[in-house]
Amino acid sequence: MTTAAHNAEFFDGKSAMARLVHVRVEHDALVIAMNGAPSVQWPLRDIELVSGGKPGQALRLKLHGDHGSRLTLPEGDAADAVIEAAPSILRGHKRRFWKGVGISVAVVLGIGVAGYATLAVAPQALARFIPNKVVNSFADGLEKSVIKSSKRCDAPAGQDALNKIARRIVSGAGDPPTFSLRVFDIRKGGTKKLVNAFALPGGRMVFSAGLIENVGSPDEIAGVLAHELGHVALRHPEAAIVRVYGLQMFLSLFTAGQGAENLGNIAGVLAVLQYSRVAEEEADAYAVQVMEKANVDPKGLQTFFTRLLKKKLGTGSAKKTDDSTSLQKRIEPFTDLFSTHPGTDDRIARIKPRPGGTQPAILSDAEWRALKAICN
């Protein structure tokens, strides 16, 4: 196949101007013949389609590995004849197209998997790099969502008693984190008192008045406080920010922002406050360790959880089912404490009493009464 010289332009990538050429297909090569210069042969298997390729379209070709040269045939018989004589050009283009699509998909999936793995496996490590300004901003928003317009409980004698318990627990922490501790009369629906304790980002710990009213001893308050201190020390609230809002970022990336909006509606505050079972077990272990070093009986934490379970069941004991299903699976969360602090019978069983109990006692009787009346 031969074309008129004016029907094709060849740019060799070396000279400054394109040249008019004759083009023909001979055996397994495309021959580019130029006046006053040796012919150039492009093996058909190495020719790549730049653009065109359909009937009536101009045809632009290049040679694989040669990033400078280009061959252009305007729309018409010459371009159509080259494609008809060498259909492998189009097949190769399709193969390269789908290969490129496959590589792109693999890269995107790789980024997604790597990002998800990082968020799932190493959120605590990443949490260390969140600027304090960002942490405090999140903490302000979360605290406002939890507390809302709740009354702060800060009767001086009661606050002094609570601070005394905190100092006792911190004495067993070695290198304790910086934290603040406040009590609010938080209510659900304006009437039902919330029974909970929260560790928020930035070392902010919030106790509800309902929790203090439901505890049976200073040791139980100490156990809950030590558990929340474990969350603070292990950066679980900050890790939750990385996990929740990092996932939101990835959903935004892969769903054009729609996934982030849905996650924001679904997750809310509890998505940040609700830790994994592993995080809860880590906080339990931290609490037991610091309580033992502070000569406070860890049984207080165990007693608190167990008593609430019995109260929910309305029985004098917390029995296992025949199939050994955990209590948490047999009952719905009966207090808000267990909705964000999943307590199961096996976690409770791992908390062992301290020989000799708490020595000396954390609070006097008068201090204990003052703490129970902290909201009065």
241, 130 contact by CB (below 8 A): yes
215, 304 contact by CB (below 8 A): yes
DSSP per residue over 160-227, as a string?
HHHHHHHHHHHTTSSSPPP-EEEEEE-EETTTEEP--EEEEGGGEEEEEHHHHHH--SHHHHHHHHHH
Rounded to 5 degrees, φ, ψ at 362 are -70, -45
Rounded to 5 degrees, φ, ψ at 182 are -135, 155
Measured CA to CA in angstroms, residue 215 lies from 201, 280, 339, 368 at distances of: 25, 20, 18, 11
CB within 8 Å of 290: residues ≥ 6 apart: 169, 170, 172, 173, 226, 229, 230
pLDDT in the model for residue 113: 60
Enter the tokens of residue 153.
């409980």
Q: What is the dihedral of CA 128, 131, 132, 138, to 10 degrees?
A: -100
Widest distance between CA atoms in the chain: 111
Nearest to 192 by CA among 207, 209, 215, 205: 209
Q: Where in the chain do CATH 2.30.29.30 domains reside?
A: 5-93
pLDDT in the model for residue 279: 83
Which residue type occupies 133? K
DSSP state letter for 63: E
Rounded Cα–Cα distance for residues 373 and 353 (Å):
28
Element (H, E) at 30: strand 29-34
Q: Per-residue pLDDT for the chain (376 aa), expressed as one digit of tens each?
A: 443 334 688 887 777 777 888 887 787 788 888 887 888 888 877 888 787 767 767 788 888 777 778 888 877 666 777 777 667 666 655 555 555 666 766 766 665 565 555 555 566 667 777 788 878 887 888 788 778 889 999 999 999 999 999 999 999 998 899 999 999 998 877 678 888 888 888 899 999 999 999 899 999 999 999 999 999 999 888 887 777 666 555 445 444 444 434 434 434 444 555 667 778 889 999 999 999 999 999 999 888 877 766 665 554 444 443 333 443 333 333 344 444 454 567 778 888 888 888 999 999 999 999 999 999 8
State the distance between the two ends of the chain, measured CA to CA, in whole angstroms: 101
Buried b (16+ CB within 10 A) or exposed e, 350-373: ebeebeeebeeebbeeebbebbbe
**Hey, what CATH class is 5-93 in?**
mainly beta
Rounded Cα–Cα distance for residues 163 and 166 (Å):
5
What is the Cα gyration radius of the chain?
36
> Whole-prediction pTM value?
0.60
Q: Give the residue carrying structure tokens 């019995």.
A: 310
Enter the tokens of residue 78.
């010459």
Neighbouring C-alpha atoms within 13 Å toward the C-beta of 9: 11
pLDDT in the model for residue 93: 54
Neighbouring C-alpha atoms within 13 Å toward the C-beta of 20: 5
pLDDT in the model for residue 372: 95
CB within 8 Å of 302: residues ≥ 6 apart: 223, 348, 351, 353
